[in-house]
Chains A and B, each alone.
Chain A
Amino acid sequence: DAGVIQSPRHEVTEMGQEVTLRCKPISGHDYLFWYRQTMMRGLELLIYFNNNVPIDDSGMPEDRFSAKMPNASFSTLKIQPSEPRDSAVYFCASRKGIPYNEQFFGPGTRLTVL
């Protein structure tokens, strides 16, 4: 398996633009997580899905952020409009089943908002 795939790996955009981050989880994994990593706040869980259904989005910072999972092999995290404080590395992770199974992380998308 290729592991969790994220695209793009780097994104540079200007304030006010829409940004879409993409994730393909490992086949057969039924949980998908979106995290944001910054120096100030560390690794934060934004939202997670189970069987394509959003379960907990309490970590989404504000309405400018939205996430979808239209099918088991694809998820998006959208920021509209983007702001400089959104600059961070965004990780997607997937897991199969029970909580003590390992989460597999993607390589991350480094987002810079100018």
Chain B
Amino acid sequence: AQSVSQHNHHVILSEAASLELGCNYSYGGTVNLFWYVQYPGQHLQLLLKYFSGDPLVKGIKGFEAEFIKSKFSFNLRKPSVQWSDTAEYFCAVTDSGTYKYIFGTGTRLKVLA
């Protein structure tokens, strides 16, 4: 069965620090990859997605992610975080044969002002 691993469960950073959140998946076929964000008290929103083409994907609010097929990874990055980036971040994968997402357990990011 497919699975998604997010190894960092809690991350604390100071403002202006660089961010990288890890995401690995366990599926060898064609995949679609997503990062969602959940701000405190809010619902999940799409940050960015990859389905084909350039493996470096840019999303909203200065986030980007790189798909590395050989490593089964789709890590999320931001060069300089802000206090408003405090949220929980979820990586998800879906394969082209089924229509459901498999979500990782999430990474809680806290940015200190």
Contacts and interface: CB of A to CB of B under 8 A. Distances in A.
A106 B43 contact: yes
Contact of B46 (A41, A55, A102, A107): A102
A48 B43 contact: no
A99 B43 contact: no
A45 B101 contact: yes
Contacts of B104: 42
Nearest to B4: A42
User: Is chain A's interface secondary structure helix, strand, loop, or mixed overall?
Assistant: strand
B99 A108 contact: no
B43 A91 contact: yes
Interface in A51-107: 55-56, 91, 93, 99-100, 102-103, 105-107
Interface residues of A, number: 22
A33 B100 contact: yes
A107 B34 CA distance: 19
Contacts of B43: 91, 105-108
Interface of A: 31, 33, 35, 41-45, 48, 50, 55-56, 91, 93, 99-100, 102-103, 105-108
Given A55-B99, A100-B49, 15 more contacts: A41-B105, A42-B103, A42-B104, A43-B44, A45-B103, A91-B43, A91-B44, A99-B95, A100-B32, A100-B94, A102-B34, A102-B46, A103-B101, A105-B43, A106-B43
- 5 pairs of A and B residues whose beta carbons are closest in the complex: A42-B105, A100-B51, A100-B32, A105-B43, A43-B103
12 contacts: A33-B100, A35-B103, A42-B103, A43-B103, A48-B99, A48-B100, A93-B44, A99-B96, A102-B46, A103-B46, A105-B43, A105-B44
